[in-house]
Chain A
Amino acid sequence: MSWRPSPLVVVVGSGGVGKTTLAAALGLRSARAGRRTLVMTFDPSRRLKDALGVGEAAGEREVEVAAGTPGRLDASLLDARRTFDRLVERYAPDEAARRRILENRYYRHLAGSLAGILEYMAVERLFEVEESGRYEQVVLDTPPTRQALDFLQAPARIVGFLESGALRIALKPWFDERGRLRPTARLGALGRRVERLLDETVGLDLLRDMAEFFQAFAPLYEGFRRRAGKVEALLRSARTLFVLVAGPGEERIPDTLFFARRLREAGFGLGPVVVNRVHPRPPGVGAGPEGGAAAPRDGRRLLGWLGARDARGLDQLGSLLAGGPPLVALPLLPDEPADLAALEALGRSFEQRLAAGGGPS
């Protein structure tokens, strides 16, 4: 029996824990169960493109995966920069505005890393997909942020940023038509000193460029605010379930707990917490004291230590999450899943462990 989650599954977690692979595996299982499914992911590795058998075209639009599943499986592998370029192409009011944005130096230097850009794109695409009603199941892999919640707060933050933040409201009125600071222009000599100080601290040219950049986007704001509001309502609704993925080991517990609590406090529906890449516990090997030194080349001892470390982490997390979301431990695999069969096996392993109460073995 396959897992039947909410129509939208959002996979969150720190970078490097295997979110993207798990999202693909969940999507594949959903299509196997007969649902029309879309997996959306960001900056995926070549391996995932190969595993899903989709080419570069999946960076531009939803592409069907030849998985032979009863339900159609589509994948959309988004590249932040390219998606943003396309957004500009589509929404910029005219050719001049389009060129102004694309040639703006902030855009050129920082489009990939400017706070909120990836999240903005995720929201836009998620909205489009939801509106289309083409899918019974959407699995969204979130952008790799240090804090899983950055993504969830992004729509609200972007809206706040556009409405009252540093850039739109704060910037535009500050400059008059001649590019002079408005408030200081009225203040005479004192105003000129303040302007000079600001210029020397943050650079008014820099701010003028930024103002221009974001003003070029002004026609988009209203639409984005509406869409972001809808997406946020969707994320908080019963239609959405979050899967939190974490690395193994005791050291990861504080982060994992923090994410889980914040998700629930913020009113998001938290589903399974997945601890990924758990080292097996070798039979007959005690935990032993830590020590890379005493027996530096003893692989069995290192294995025993890694297995014991991960087991302790799982135990602690289990008791700390008791009564809360189910905990699913996925073992470290010999190889990273590199084809559809391996992804499917991973998805099946997840479902079996979830059904069995999440145990590691």
Chain B
Amino acid sequence: MRPPFLESLGRRRLLVVTGKGGVGKSTVAAALGKLLAEAGRRVLVLEVDPRESIHQLFATHPSGGEILSAGPELWLQNLQPGTVLDRLVRERVRIAAVAQRVLDSPVYHHFTAGAPGLHEMAVLGHALQVVEGKVPGAPAVDLVVMDAPATGHGVALMVAPLLVSEAIRRGPVAALSSQVARLVRDPDRCGVVVVTAAEEMPVTEGLELAERLGRELGRGPDLMAVNGLYPALGAVFSEGPNAASSGEPGDDPLLELWRRRRRLNERELERLAAAWPGPRVELPLYALGRGPSLVAALAIDLGAQLQEDRPGVRRPEGRRPGARRSGDRRPDSGESVDGQAGGRPPGRGRPAARRPPAGNQGPS
């Protein structure tokens, strides 16, 4: 039997967490980082966005470019890409004053700002240097979980090192970019997690991303994380004041809204599974604001689902009688999901016990 998927993810040196804005990419990256740290890996969660926000997820103060402790075996950093190239120049030009003149010169700025792919390569290069212990003052970490920029395609980020390594043939940037180009194409060392939502546009974009990764890098994502799912009605509205109306959700506009959003989620999950049959986790909506509690809740969800060897990949013997197949979706049937056992909750029927118990949500 194969080991749990989590173990294989944790063996990588770099996990690139990518996806479009608005789907909770940073929160999932933070939860993955927390989970892997709890599993005994030393993890740096690296945010690549000029507007810092990942510190809010760990309730630390802003990183300001530094590496901060965010819990046991866990660190975070907001990276400014320019600093990586500057560091390379300083290493190359040993005389500090001369290095400073180079860094201050408009020619250097024009060139580094204008060269396509250079900043992306530098960001990945930084991650590689951190895990190889080559960044002065950085803690020794086993892997970097990178919260990739929301703008542009995650693919451009990952293709950049190849482009740069073709163009720069000597010197430290050449060496680093060819190392990084090898890293991103090596599925044993670099993992890609695509975060999406079970709605039409995010699923379409997630599938495009998977296709382009395969075409341009010869590798697909390792995991799709579908975030923000409405829990199945049967699981969440089984009792309470409106339980009487459970047979006819149309009676209650709120239940009707929930039921139809959930159905939309299920339809898109089926579409995703049919087009990309790889490992998948499904993460529910929580009554939690953006912060450490939400990260803790998602880390527990991720942990439970990543214990399987192929999360989210339904095998024939694992299919429950009520579960739908991709071929028999009935988007417009009038069936009542409410109150039925057949509705597929986000964790595909796992008990609620894996949710964090009250009062035990903070970093432990």
A residues with a Cβ closer than 8 A to B are 14-17, 45-47, 105-106, 109-110, 112-114, 144-146, 165-167, 170-171, 174, 196-203, 205-207, 209-210, 247, 250-251, 280, 282, 284, 290-294, 296-306, 309, 332, 334-336
Contact = CB atoms under 8 A, between A and B. Distances in A.
Contacts of A290: 287-289, 293
A284 B150 CA distance: 38
B237 interface: yes
A209 B163 CA distance: 12
Interface in B241-262: 241-242, 253-254, 256-258, 260-261
B199 A303 contact: no
B173 A110 contact: no
Contacts of B85: 201
Contacts of A203: 115, 164, 167-169, 173-174
B93 interface: yes
Given A203-B169, A332-B257, A293 B20 contact: no
B135 to A, nearest CB: 18
A278 B212 CA distance: 34
B260 A335 contact: yes
A309 B264 CA distance: 22
Q: Which 9 A-B pairs have the closest CB atoms?
A: A200-B171, A299-B236, A16-B22, A166-B114, A203-B168, A206-B167, A305-B287, A334-B260, A292-B286
Given A202-B118, A205-B168, A336 B231 contact: no
A90 to B, nearest CB: 24
Nearest to B233: A299
B169 A250 contact: no
A290 B156 CA distance: 38
A205 B169 contact: yes
Nearest to B208: A43
A72 B198 CA distance: 34
Contacts of B285: 302, 306
A16 B261 contact: no
B116 A16 contact: no
Given A113-B152, A146-B21, A166 B108 contact: no
Contacts of A112: 153, 156
A294 B358 contact: yes
Given A197-B93, A292-B286, A280 B172 contact: no
B82 to A, nearest CB: 12
Contacts of B163: 105-106, 109-110
A110 B168 contact: no
Given A14-B21, A293-B356, A296-B352, A205 B167 contact: yes
A339 to B, nearest CB: 13
A200 B174 contact: yes
B352 A170 contact: no
Given A109-B163, A292-B288, A300 B111 contact: no
Nearest to A150: B151
B111 A166 contact: yes
Contacts of A199: 168, 170-171
B114 A210 contact: yes
Interface in B125-152: 150-152
Most buried by A among B93, B153, B355, B357: B355
Given A15-B20, A199-B171, A202-B173, A110 B260 contact: no
Given A15-B20, A113-B156, A300-B237, A334 B111 contact: no
B340 interface: no
Contacts of B89: 197, 201
Nearest to B197: A16
Given A16-B202, A105-B166, A110-B116, 6 more contacts: A170-B107, A199-B171, A251-B290, A280-B254, A298-B236, A334-B257
Contacts of B65: none
B168 A200 contact: yes
Contacts of B168: 199-200, 202-203, 205-206
A355 B289 CA distance: 32
B304 interface: no
A293 B169 contact: no
A245 to B, nearest CB: 12
10 contacts: A15-B150, A16-B202, A110-B116, A114-B116, A170-B111, A202-B112, A206-B118, A294-B358, A296-B355, A299-B236
B67 interface: no
Interface in B331-364: 352, 355-358, 361
A282 B241 CA distance: 12
Contact of A334 (B107, B256, B294, B358): B256
B117 interface: yes
B159 interface: yes
Contacts of B111: 166, 170, 198, 201-202, 207
A167 B242 CA distance: 65
A265 to B, nearest CB: 18
Contacts of B92: 197, 200-201
Given A45-B200, A112-B153, A167 B114 contact: yes
Contact of A16 (B174, B201, B290, B358): B201
B273 interface: no
Contact of A210 (B116, B172, B237, B356): B116
